[in-house]
Amino acid sequence: MNSGRDVAGLRGAVAGVHAASFGLDSQLSDTLSGVLQAYADLYEAEVDAANEAAATEVGHENPVDNAVRAAVVQQRVGIRQPELFR
């Protein structure tokens, strides 16, 4: 029985597990960042579309009125700003 070899093998296995864990954490972080960015882009596109629809519906008379109309249109179509972006 060679306990020195056993200890070295155990330490090597532990190091491999740690490396795999850190790699997985990095991949998960990248994936979540990509999902959040895609969601933010989608939200921005929805808001832009709602604002454009409100401006087209009424014209470009008053920017304040158009902003209020855009908020009403957003509410009508169910676009809500996510908690992350408030």
User: What's residue 61's pLDDT?
Assistant: 59
pLDDT at 49: 85
Distance CA 70, CA 62 (A): 12
Intervals of the chain under pLDDT 70: 1-2, 57-67, 69, 73-86
Which of 45, 42, 74, 43 has its CA nearest to residue 57?
74
What whole-number distance in Å separates Cα of residue 58 and Cα of residue 62? 10
Cβ-contact 52, 67 below 8 angstroms:
no
Cβ neighbours of residue 37 closer than 8 Å, sequence gap 6 or more = none
